Structure 1
Amino acid sequence: MIDLAVEGRRLVDFARASYVEGLGFGWLDGSGRTDPDRAVHLWVTCRMVHVFSLAALQGDADAARLARGGVRALTDGPLRDRGPGGWLSSVDLRGRPVGTGKQAYDHAFVLLAASSAVAAGTEGADELLARSWQTFERHFLDGAGLVIDSYPRDLGEPEPYRGANSSMHTVEALLAVAEVTGDRGRREAALAIARHLVGFAGDFGHRLPEHFDPHWTPLPDYHRDRPDDAFRPFGWTPGHSLEWARLLLQLEAAGEAPEPWLLPTARDLFEVGVRHGWEADGAPGFCYTVDWQDRPVVRRRMHWVHAEAVAAAAALHARTGEERYAEHARRWWAFVEDVLVDREGGSWHHELDADNRPTAVTWSGKPDVYHAYQATLLARLDPLRGLAAQLR
């Protein structure tokens, strides 16, 4: 069995080289060097601030330094768009805008990063959290408290698309903010989003639709012609079902009067995700996406899916005490150790082909350690609570 404490430190060590002074955190290549041909992305920068804040809470002084640098970059660097407001999706290594859209997905990670940095006592984190919440509440939540996916740079007319992925990470971020600040309203906001999104699964046999029109009508054929789109693939994504299962259990644990639907829904999402994701094509590993007849579409294995699988299994085992969930976790950790962990290059292989060999079709390199590092902590700590709050 993999030593999770050692593995967590190894992941943090790999990630240290990603820091780019004044900009944030760059895109790491397969050997852990910043790729000069890739932009500095907001979501990568925020995930790294989150990771280094968690490491700082465990006494890593250098991680605390990196978290401070990341908070400064998010507050004063070129990713922050001072004119229209909010944050740009990416800038090049000279600080010039590359991706000028404003994404709810990215801004949810600003919230997560800020809340973890607050927990770590990072200078400037309180200001960052206040500003990021003001931006998110004003632009990315509609009158019903649901997530608006994206805007052009001027934050004018939003894109006529709604997505489950940005909503899921908003739930994650709001839970983290609630635990760190004690603001229970954020937990209730997260619960409302989860109730709305997960409610669609009942009409699809506990499969979660990913794509919607502006009125939240599911679009099951969305991107059928681009099935392996990096952020909006066709079909449904077993890994997201597993991730939602854990978040529902965290919502339940955070509530004073938990709603009775949360545990059975988490079970259903987990069971269907495992049944149609794990070894769906006959080989070990989780397929990335499947269609609505549960046939594999993108057979490549993403490292983040396996990280979320072990975390969801740990959460269900902690909540129910049922040994079958622990058995799942052991099996999947063995797969991670045997196939995903890269002992030579560092970190985990981010993508495998259908024969479980490293590939780079969707992503190049190993841009961040967020999913993997969280998995090592959730397996060792309480998987029903936020990491920053309990480490603090």
Structure 2
Amino acid sequence: MSWLTTPAHARWLEAEGDRLLAFGRASRHPDGGFAWLDETGAPELDRPVELWITCRMTHVYALGHLMGRPDCGTLADHGVAALRERFHDRVHGGWYAKVGPDGPTTTDKTAYEHAFVVLAGASAAAAGRPGGAELLDDALGVLLEHFWDDEFGMVVEQWDESFTTLDGYRGVNANMHTVEALLAAADVLDDASLRERAQRIVTRVVHDLARGNQWRIPEHFDTTWTPDLEYNVDEPAHPFRPYGATIGHWLEWARLALHLRAGLGASAPEWLLEDARSLFDASVREGWAVDGADGFVYTVDWSGTPVVRERMHWVAAESTATAAALHAATGEAAYADWYTTWWQHVADCFLDTEHGSWRHELSPRNTPSSVTWAGKPDTYHAFQATLIPRLPLAPTLAAALRDGLLP
């Protein structure tokens, strides 16, 4: 029996989401933003505060507020205030990726983090939090003015502080989260033009690059969007730019294609569902339990051979969410079966019932590891995994909660 459609499992998901919200409260940084949490859930206040963590936690607590959880609105406001003040570059616009007691510790402006500012703004705006709508408007303006490359229908990666010098690297990871952010903003603002930009990115990455490369998505490119397949071959376990193809991203792209398809409605091209199926199948074929133990390997090379075999919590979370999304789109029992299998794996291996949240990384034998990730920096992937199975594919999370679509 699949758990996916049972009320009892929905209650379990709700309880797990509440457990994650409780764990993350400790990340509230006294100087603004949200701190990195260690394995026990203690905030590491001596390290710079990361923009991506602050955005993700602002998003999570805006969702928590929309679900009627006490104190979540206050925590979302704390995040919005940091994004409008502590992280914001008042001179040149945009946001710094890391800040410390004396200001920014790095001054480059990066698309990955800016996509999350849009997501945080969209969720805060949907939740009606003070400054949320203004943050969303500002973030979209920066993203579309400085990062959107209309020639290629993608976002560029990294500017200097003044948006004068553009780095030559182009990356798919930032574009993936830009799709997520654009879809969220499109729903919150009722702006179809943002969904059209998301469709351009998905078309290039999924329908062109993935389909043309046996569904192994190239991650790293030069200025003309020519793949650099040997990028970071000497640093294969990089947390954001690993060598090779990243299994978890195939699952995320599949899910985002389904959200886009649902948002487009009758105008959605047929290939969105077909390609989502193919990405899912490839992730199972080349990523799941391919080395003698359950779990998804982190990366594979261009022949499909595992490179980094550690298991990441975010991949496990995305696997359950994508299986749920495909079941919602097709009604096919096989996806519900995978959903059950993977939540059981999460419960067996990733849930930390002693210290809270999920273990962020496991070894190839599913024991705690820290090759790529130390600590438990945020709850974004795990919390979303508790919501996606309980909501429709469109609108996206914050808009769906705002509209009362959570059963």
TM range, smaller chain: over 0.9
1:121 has 2:131 as partner: no
155, 168, 175: which one aligns with 1:167: 175
SS at match of 2:105: strand
CA positional deviation for 1:363: 1.8
Judge conservation of contact 1:24–1:40 (CA < 8 Å) in 2.
Answer: yes
Q: Distance in 1 between matches of 2:269 and 2:38?
A: 44
Q: After the TM superposition, which of the residue ranges 343-352 and 95-104 deviates more from structure 2?
A: 95-104
Judge conservation of contact 2:29–2:45 (CA < 8 Å) in 1.
Answer: no
Question: Percent same amino acid at aligned positions?
Answer: 50
Match of 2:15 in 1: 6
198, 207, 217: which one aligns with 2:216: 207
Tell me the alpha carbon deviations over residues 326-352 of structure 1, each in whole angstroms, 9 at most, x when there is no partner.
000000000000100000010000000
SS at match of 1:33: coil
Judge conservation of contact 1:314–1:383 (CA < 8 Å) in 2.
Answer: no
1:29 has 2:38 as partner: yes
CA positional deviation for 1:6: 0.5
Match of 1:301 in 2: 311
Tell me the alpha carbon deviations over residues 242-264 of structure 1, each in whole angstroms, 9 at most, x when there is no partner.
00000001111001411111010
Q: Distance in 2 between matches of 1:128 and 1:179?
A: 16
Match of 1:246 in 2: 255
CA positional deviation for 1:38: 2.1
| C-alpha RMSD of the superposition | 1.2
Match of 2:233 in 1: 224
Match of 1:66 in 2: 75
287, 296, 303: which one aligns with 1:277: 287
TM-score (norm 1): 0.97
Give the alignment of 1:35-50 within 5 angstroms.
35-50=44-59
Tell me the alpha carbon deviations over residues 115-148 of structure 1, each in whole angstroms, 9 at most, x when there is no partner.
0001100001111111111111111111323200
Q: Distance in 2 between matches of 1:372 and 1:390?
A: 18
Runs of 4+ displaced beyond 3 Å? none
Q: After the TM superposition, which of the residue ranges 33-42 and 126-135 deviates more from structure 2?
A: 33-42
SS at match of 1:24: coil
- Paired residue type of 1:57: L
Match of 1:80 in 2: 88
Give the total of aligned pairs: 390
Match of 1:182 in 2: 190
Judge conservation of contact 1:236–1:291 (CA < 8 Å) in 2.
Answer: yes
CA positional deviation for 1:52: 0.1
200, 208, 231: which one aligns with 1:192: 200
Match of 2:141 in 1: 134
SS at match of 1:91: strand
Q: Distance in 1 between matches of 2:131 and 2:103?
A: 24
CA positional deviation for 1:235: 0.6
SS at match of 1:379: helix
Tell me the alpha carbon deviations over residues 176-203 of structure 1, each in whole angstroms, 9 at most, x when there is no partner.
0011110111101100111111211122
Q: After the TM superposition, which of the residue ranges 65-74 and 15-24 deviates more from structure 2?
A: 15-24
Q: Distance in 2 between matches of 1:194 and 1:99?
A: 30
321, 330, 337: which one aligns with 1:320: 330
CA positional deviation for 1:384: 4.7
Q: Distance in 2 between matches of 1:40 and 1:361?
A: 21
TM-score (norm 2): 0.94
Match of 2:405 in 1: none
CA positional deviation for 1:382: 2.1
- Paired residue type of 1:316: L
Judge conservation of contact 1:318–1:384 (CA < 8 Å) in 2.
Answer: no
166, 170, 185: which one aligns with 1:158: 166
Q: Distance in 2 between matches of 1:329 and 1:51?
A: 22
Q: Distance in 2 between matches of 1:258 and 1:56?
A: 32
For structure 2, the 5+ residue unaligned runs are: 4-8, 403-407
Match of 2:6 in 1: none
Match of 1:357 in 2: 367
Tell me the alpha carbon deviations over residues 223-256 of structure 1, each in whole angstroms, 9 at most, x when there is no partner.
1121111211011011000000000011110014
Judge conservation of contact 2:361–2:370 (CA < 8 Å) in 1.
Answer: yes
CA positional deviation for 1:37: 3.2
Match of 2:108 in 1: 101
SS at match of 1:374: helix
Q: Distance in 2 between matches of 1:361 and 1:173?
A: 29
Match of 2:27 in 1: 18
CA positional deviation for 1:22: 4.4
